[in-house]
Amino acid sequence: MTRDGCAVALVSGASSGFGARTAEVLAERGYRVVALARRGERLLELARSRPDLPIHPLVADVRDPEALREALDGLPEEYRDLSVLVNNAGLSRGLSPIQTGEPALWRDMIDTNVTGLLNLTQLVLPRLVARGAGHVVNIGSIAATYPYLGGNVYGATKAFVHQLTLNMRVDLQGTGVRVSGIAPGMARTEFALVRYDGDSERADALYDGLTPLTADDIAEAVAWCLAQPARVNINMIELMPTEQPFGLGFARSAGAARHDHDS
């Protein structure tokens, strides 16, 4: 809590999708928000589009612990006293079956979704423990639980996030710090565009036949976890589009999916 009574939340991956909307929603609900991502111009756009809200852009790459430390050390006074961390930055790269997967893409996912999340957590969590109160919300995925063709390494990184969330709960018992995990299914953001390396036609086709979740749905889930009374810890929320079968929904057209994934 800052001197003026505002709690400060840091949202990673706030230049797009879930993170951008979560930054806005939390700021609308009374938080000062540190919006972290690599694309500074996007963060500035977010802050400028809502001059009514206290959103502070912070350019950093979660894969680089030194740069992260420097960025956090440089936060202005009124954004320093963090009490909420939303570990949202993440990506998927490619959809190849494991036998033909590209190690460089695997590394990108592991470095961001696993190591990047740990880098940021290591820097922020001690501040929450020291103040005897706080909340970490980790954004996982249904890909952690339900396998789908080509989901291999991405799903495994999200299984890491899921298990880490549960273990953090145990380690943080008695510290006053709460930990929640949110596992969304298919949502329309830039996620598919990144997965398909900028191929927007392919990315759009992913949502054919169903109405995907929106960034707003996830932002509201985050805000709901945070809004519970201190005695309540929401451990895990899993949400998916009503029309999504488990996984990526390829059961609707297994042949087409196989063709798609082998390319």
Minimum separation from the CB atom of position 233 to ligand 8X3 (A): 23
Examine residue 141 and tell whether it contacts ligand 8X3 (CB under 6 A).
Answer: yes
Report helix, strand or coil for 200.
Answer: helix
Q: Which helix (H) or strand (E) holds 10?
A: strand 8-12
Q: Which residue is associated with the tokens 């509201």?
A: 220
CB of 210 closer than 8 Å to CB of 195: no
Establish how many alpha carbons lie within 13 A of residue 196's alpha carbon, considering only the half-sphere containing its beta carbon: 17
Active-site residue identified among 148, 154, 196, 207: 154
| Residue selected from 55, 105, 142, 203 as contacting ligand 8X3 according to rule CB under 6 A | 142
Q: Which residue is associated with the tokens 């709460």?
A: 178
Examine residue 141 and tell whether it contacts ligand NDP (CB under 6 A).
Answer: yes
Q: Which stretch binds ligand NDP (CB under 6 A): 7-15, 25-33, 172-180, 253-261?
A: 7-15
Binding mask 90-129 for ligand 8X3 (x = CB under 6 A): ----------------------------------------
| Residue selected from 189, 222, 241, 261 as contacting ligand NDP according to rule CB under 6 A | 189
> 132: which 2 tokens?
């005897």
Examine residue 185 and tell whether it contacts ligand 8X3 (CB under 6 A).
Answer: yes
Minimum separation from the CB atom of position 185 to ligand 8X3 (A): 5
In the sheet that holds 55-59, the strands lie side by side as 55-59, 32-37, 8-12, 82-87, 134-139, 177-184, 236-239
Residue 207 among the catalytic residues:
no
Nearer to ligand 8X3, 59 or 193 (CB): 193
Compute CA 174 distance to the chain's CA centroid, rounded to the nearest angstrom: 26
Minimum separation from the CB atom of position 250 to ligand 8X3 (A): 10
Closest CA to 205 of 215, 217, 196: 196
Residues that bind ligand 8X3 (CB under 6 A): 141-143, 151, 185-186, 248
